[in-house]
Chains A and B, each alone.
Chain A
Amino acid sequence: MLLIFLVVVAIAIIRMKNLFAVVMLTGIYGLLSASFLVVMDAVDVAFTEAAVGAGISTLLMLVVISMTGHRERTTRHKPLLALLVVTITGGLLIYGTLDMPYFGSADAPIHNHVASRYINDSMQEIGVPNIVTSVLASYRAFDTFGEVVVIFTAGIGVLALLSIAHRPEDGDKTGSFNDSLNEQHLIVRIVSKILIPFILLFALYVQFHGDYGPGGGFQAGVIFASAIILYSMLFGLNIARKVINQPFIQFISAIGVLLYGSVGLASILSGGNFFDYNVLSNDHITGQHLGILLIELGVGCTVASVMIIIFFNFAGRREMQQKNEREHNKNQELS
């Protein structure tokens, strides 16, 4: 049923011309797919998708369309040809699914390789009840390291493309502009001011409870970042920059990656393989716990700070554009 909703929303996304409505629909799409993931037992994934798909990505797209305009032009190039290509590809893919094992069957090939070892032995080997965490942070820690580096690199990329030298002396002007805008949303501001500490606390809970329940560094990072993003949306970018200044948050994102990597190096130096936590302590379960705690902390730091960097840079760019426009208008009035 949820899947049918997903298809309906996706078709609506094709039909809509107003990009604002399209972005809202992608938010709904993200939330629906998160609910579907809960039904499919993937609680950790659903957590992340709810925070990312329905939260952060929708907000980023909103900021971007406020810079680039809300309307899509009506012309489409060669819709019939595209439809033909899509139909043929889809037909071939559906033909491919005919050979697949049925949904939910326990003897499918996917369940017969490493998965049974993760399920049966991870309690003795890692000592962490949440199998997803033990696979993520211990069995496949090298993979996850790669992912964290990709996120860090994307953060650097956004910085390189969008960062502007922030001059503090223009701060007052843009600040007053923001305040006048924000006073319209008094109730929203008060409610979210009450909520933000709880969101931050919840992020910390998710971070450190990831061993026992759904959660971990990735989820905690995006939840933490969404609290900060909420704050900066409602109280203006300049006030948020005073709370968390940008060099500091860039430093934290690098520290996260370094912390993760240095856990790997520490395990080499104490005589094990890269990311082999057994050697970190005398008791291998304690070693695993320590290793997982540290690298989840590294992941959390990097993910949260990269998300905040991305949002700050988009919003900062927008503020700069608005200011340029206002100055441009003022100049025109003068001449």
Chain B
Amino acid sequence: MKSRSALAALSVMVTTTLAVAGCSGQVKTTQNDPAGSTGPVNSAGTDKMIDTLTLPAEVPDNVAGIENYNPWAPNVTSKNYFYEPLMIRSSVNCEVVPWLATDYKWDSASQIHFTIRDGVKWSDGQPLTADDVAFTLNLRKQYAALDDIGLWNDTFGAHADQVTAEGNTVTIKFSGNAAAKFDSLITTKIIPKHVWEKVGDPTKYVEKKPVGSGPFQVKSYNGRKLVLERRADYWQADRVKVKNLVLEGNYDATNAALKLTAGQLDAYWGEIPNPKVSFQDKNPSLNHFWYAPAGSTVLTPNTQKAPFNDAAFREAYSQGMDKDQMSAKATYSVMKPASQTGLKLPYAENLMPDALKNQDTVLKYDPAKANQMFDDAGYKVGNDGFRTTKDGKPLTIQFSVQAGWIDYQAAADVIVRDLKAMKLNAKVVASPPDAVDLKKKQGDFDMMLEYLNGACEVARNLGSKLASDQIPTKTTVMSNVERWKDPKTDGIVKQLSGATDPAEQKKLVGELVDVMMTQYPVTPLFYAPARMIYRTDHAVGWPSEQDPYATNSDMLLIMTHLKSAK
């Protein structure tokens, strides 16, 4: 328990630094150490080991026998358990958990220091140093293909000018305000310099024997089944209770549900329709799932096109959306109807403007009110029973939806039914997903469903959804699919992405929320999930609604939380 108190002390330190520096985004400090005791832990068995845990393969597509642990390879066999990030910020509670970096400090919004943890060893026995971190970051400058966090270009914040290591500190100097880069910067997976400086072009390098700092190393791989074994010399080995980790198979919904039920799989985070019936009800004491909100599914109109360029029109149909019905059909009522603020509630409660506190910001389903608003706004019902444009021309709405995305298709059916109830002549057109992306790029659509990211950095999520420089181009899909063009909003987003003072951030977020609540650029419908479906016969301590410490993208955090169920 000695190391635990050490870590606790460490997190206090982080808290203090943050309070002083108080930078970037809505950084909340971590309340507990990386592997704080949480969840329904069986107190008698905390020191017992879990012999084997079986999870789905990390590799997205598998062809027998292709093996590559290069973390940048699109089809990497596995990387999560070898290469670790600087820090982990769980997207649910937005707490920053120190990892390879024990601490960070912004000098200004254009310079940041990371303190690198002492005593971390690579799996080949060599120590991990600040040099390795600087090497990893500088490698991205030389090879643009490796820069998946946009460190050296101007994506969300100014580009880096220089990365240097001194002692146990890594300093990054940016060309300007780079506060918005923090969230992605800390996710950088650190690689060992002594291995990677000799491999030539790292984009084309095939890594067969990964040297990492993570909790596991490769035990065996037969082209299908990857077995990882626990590293006894891992820097927080006392928190890792899983002896063997088996990563195997890419399953579809049915297969995954059946494998989980049969106990051949311990956890899964892909889509399983109706997880309650397909999985949980079959053994409620062992089978669990938690679908954390990761963002919102939003109704996106083409705001450059009449009548969707009329705020009164957007407000009217927003009142007539039966969100409970959509949640029922698209998510089996697992995901709750979403707040019109665009914030992920209740997790982002602290960002809510005071005026809206204690107010239900989820729009009520009220078709009568919606119809009244349409009438008032001048969209009269024509002879065919459908509403016309203001100047009396027929109005038809094509709702574009991705063929094969069953949740979207189910929601689209409800939306079109709701639109018809508001006497709007709408119909669904399902196209292959890439064709829908083409419509986003060309702005060639009336309405569609879209995703609003709910991660911690509001400037990057709600902000980029509303910023005019994030409108998709002919070649690239970007966030502002609804093509919201408003100089005032742009100004708010710009200030927000450079804001360092929490009070100022909250004020600016409040202004964005106001745009959402009065202009209805998009209409949030229901929260979109980050899924975690798991069994508790081998391991306990999975994230849950009671203990929302991580989502499926933070597997390292989860691995340090799991305890034996026996």
Genuine A/B complex: no
Point out residues on A near B: beta carbons under 8 Å.
none
